[in-house]
């Protein structure tokens, strides 16, 4: 079987996984086309990590099918078509970064040279440093280099920028995009919603083991269509603002009002008519975080 012939990068059908009484993944269907960059989002317990584990062959589903470029996850990994960057994974303290990446390269048939993987991951300057002396963010970048070693067609990243500072996160995504621009496919989970908005072609939102939204970022946000009007409104009460036509929710803090609405033009007109002293009026579309909270009903931080 030629696993390159016309098959999508990832195809999942009827996937289920249960741990005791907990249904971690509850019958999801998902197709990821080649060269897509897809963000997998969801709260704690949504099933993201369990799904990723099954996609890369670390866990077997109770039911359903998974195909990676038309092959089983184990076969795709064996052929070096999948690179995996876990959120955590021990590095040998007394082994240098170069030696670590070279060790991984020795396990593959046609790996990237260790120096090339280090360069692409942006850690060539750390090649001679022992793992024990690396920061948390630097260790993540080394794991990225390890994931690049097989020259994968599908790169799977689990919370890739955990422990990275802002600068390191920006540099990581620049490296990842350089990889994706070669026509490769990327599937990543993240709890930084702005990363999904900025770097994904598509978002898949999971909740309670199921997919609750799937599509381009703008399309997902359209599923919870609306805008937010914020303004300084001296003396206004929350209940009065909430009663304005077109307002679905209102909140006032220190004289600054935030109004969720279905028709921002109507709300602005009514606001200024009833509160002529209102000032600093701003209108913004709902962000991905708003979409996530509304679609999942989640009140906890995204993980």
Q: Determine the Cα–Cα distance for residues 186 and 216; give it in Å rounded to an integer.
A: 15
pLDDT for 292 = 73
Q: Can you tell me the distance from the alpha carbon of 125 to that of 97, in angstroms, rounded to the nearest whole number?
A: 10
Contact of 125 with 142, CB cutoff 8 Å: no
* Cβ contacts of 113 within 8 Å, gap of 6 or more: 105
- Note the pLDDT of residue 300: 44
Average pLDDT, the chain: 89
Residue spans of the chain under pLDDT 70:
1-5, 222-225, 288-289, 297-303
Per DSSP, 9 falls in state S
> Domains in the chain, start-ordered, CATH in brackets?
10-221 (3.40.50.300), 226-285 (3.30.70)
Please report the pLDDT score of residue 238 as a whole number.
94
Residue 263's pLDDT is: 86
In angstroms, rounded to a whole number, what is the distance separating the alpha carbons of residues 95 and 90? Answer: 12
Relative orientation angle of helices 114-121 and 166-180, to the nearest 10 degrees: 120
pLDDT score recorded for residue 225 = 64
Q: Are 154 and 83 within 8 A, CB to CB?
A: yes
Nearby residues of 92 by Cβ (< 8 Å), 6 or more positions away: 100, 131
pLDDT at 269: 94
Burial of 53 (0-12, 13-18, 19+ CB in 10 A): buried
Q: What is the pLDDT of residue 303?
A: 39
Q: pLDDT tens digit string along 160-197?
A: 988 888 888 888 998 898 899 999 999 999 877 788 88
């Amino acid at each position: 079987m030629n696993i390159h012939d016309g098959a999508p990068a990832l195809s999942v059908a009827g996937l289920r996984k249960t741990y005791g009484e907990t249904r971690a993944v509850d019958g999801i269907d998902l197709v990821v086309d080649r060269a897509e960059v897809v963000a997998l989002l969801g709260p704690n317990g949504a099933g993201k990590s369990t799904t990723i584990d099954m996609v890369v062959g670390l866990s077997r589903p109770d039911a359903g099918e998974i195909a990676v470029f038309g092959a089983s996850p184990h076969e795709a990994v064996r052929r070096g078509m999948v690179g995996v960057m876990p959120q955590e994974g021990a590095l040998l303290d007394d082994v240098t970064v170069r030696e670590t990446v070279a060790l991984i390269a020795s396990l593959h048939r046609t790996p990237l040279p260790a120096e090339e993987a280090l360069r692409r991951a942006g850690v060539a300057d750390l090649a001679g440093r022992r793992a024990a002396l690396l920061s948390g963010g630097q260790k993540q970048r080394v794991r990225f280099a390890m994931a690049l070693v097989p020259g994968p067609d599908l790169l799977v990243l689990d919370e890739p920028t955990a422990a990275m500072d802002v600068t390191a996160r920006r540099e990581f995504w620049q490296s990842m995009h350089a990889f994706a621009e070669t026509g490769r496919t990327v599937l990543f989970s993240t709890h930084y919603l702005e990363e999904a908005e900025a770097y994904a072609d598509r978002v898949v939102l999971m909740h309670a083991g199921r997919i609750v939204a799937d599509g381009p970022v703008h399309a997902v946000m359209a599923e919870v269509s609306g805008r937010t009007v914020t303004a300084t409104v001296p003396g206004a009460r929350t209940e009065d603002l909430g009663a304005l036509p077109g307002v679905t929710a209102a909140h006032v803090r220190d004289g600054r009002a935030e109004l969720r609405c279905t028709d921002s033009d109507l709300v602005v007109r009514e606001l200024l008519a009833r509160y002529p002293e209102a000032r600093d009026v701003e209108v913004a579309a709902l962000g991905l975080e708003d979409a996530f909270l509304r679609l999942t009903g989640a009140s906890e931080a995204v993980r």
